[in-house]
Amino acid sequence: MIVVGGGPAGLTAALYTARSGWKVIVLDPMGGGGQAATTDMIHNYPGFPQGIKGPELMELMTEHARGFGAVIEMDEVKRVTLGDRGVFSVSGQASTYESSAVIYCAGTSPRRLNVPGEDRLVGKGVSFCATCDGPLFSGRRVAVVGGGDSALTEAQFLARLASQVILIHRRNEFRAGLYNQKMVRENGKIVLRMNSVVDEIHGERYVEGITVRNVKTGEVEKEPVSAVFVYAGSSPNSAPVADLVETDDSGYIVTGPDMSTKTPGLYAAGDVRRKSLRQVSTAVGDGATAAFAAETYLMGRTI
């Protein structure tokens, strides 16, 4: 069994299948953890009433899957193909792997703003991971772009470190859930800039500021900031299986209720599939469902 992606969906699928006695390999470019491991605190995963740090939860999930015998390899999957005998060939950067079933849980990648200065200053103040890079900007003024749960969660994390957080959202209403909205509005270190977009990111060697435009009034202002954390949503990492699955207009993989795709033996689980709620808890459910369906398929039975 090959599991592509070591986030909550992939590690759950690996745990279930390995526990049932299958030989399981998980391929992940970072060696496991997924985007949940780059989240500071997760407050809505059941069983942790005080919340749990994203890296800690993912370390526990990794340990759990390994404990049942799953092998986790650091490799980035570029293409999955299906051979004549119903054997999948999974091509990574380091090696090629073969299996009779694949559970594809490659998640999503952060979407960029596509504004001048962004690409040039990635890693020099432009970041897609507050947990990773936030501590570099302790005591400094930083910007967060986006109005979803990621932007609002990470703005709260950054507010603990930075002198001030400018939260820039293109509409007048947040997309994020009400809990995060309340927490952000009550946080004295977070300044809201609604109806606003970033037109340019400035800086020679490092980020020094941004141009912010109010889309209602047309007013343009330069804000001095040392970092810009971009949380403008994500795109699904479905390209490696594009020939084997059906996707929606945004590239998310269409699955049946058992996580099956249009190719027998290929299952998709977690954020990469078309679904209404992308959370750690729903990814875990997807992973378990896909594992059960893949095992059933390998045993030549139908559910």
Side chain identity at residue 299, one-letter code? M
Among positions 10, 125, 146, 240, the unique one binding ligand NAP when judged by CB under 6 A: 146
How far the first Cα of the chain sits from its last, in Å, is 18
Catalytic residue among 28, 75, 105, 133: 133
58: tokens are 């993912």
Burial letters for 159-183: b for 16+ Cβ neighbours within 10 Å, e otherwise?
bebbeebbbbbbeeebbbeeebbeb
Yes or no: say if 209 and 202 are a contact pair by the CB < 8 Å rule: yes
Using the contact rule CB under 6 A, the part of the chain among 117-125, 167-175, 199-207, 257-265 near ligand NAP is: 167-175
Please indicate whether residue 129 is annotated as part of the active site.
yes
Nearer to ligand NAP, 194 or 239 (CB): 194
Yes or no: say if 117 and 145 are a contact pair by the CB < 8 Å rule: no
Nearer to ligand NAP, 7 or 32 (CB): 7
Using the contact rule CB under 6 A, the part of the chain among 50-58, 66-74, 140-148, 211-219 near ligand NAP is: 140-148
Which residue number has the CB closest to ligand NAP? 148
Residue 55 near ligand NAP by CB under 6 A = no
Site string for ligand NAP, 194-233 (x = CB under 6 A): ---x---------------------------------xxx
Residue 53 near ligand NAP by CB under 6 A = no
51: tokens are 């919340």
Question: Alpha-carbon Rg of the chain, whole angstroms?
Answer: 21
Among positions 120, 171, 182, 185, the unique one binding ligand NAP when judged by CB under 6 A: 171
Query: Number of residues in contact with ligand NAP, rule: CB under 6 A?
Result: 22
As a whole number of angstroms, the distance between CA 160 and CA 112 comes to 25
Yes or no: say if 297 and 101 are a contact pair by the CB < 8 Å rule: yes
Among positions 13, 142, 144, 151, the unique one binding ligand NAP when judged by CB under 6 A: 151
Site string for ligand NAP, 65-104 (x = CB under 6 A): ----------------------------------------
3-state secondary structure of 84: coil
Residue 201: closest CA among 234, 220, 227, 233? 227
Catalytic residue list: 129, 132-133
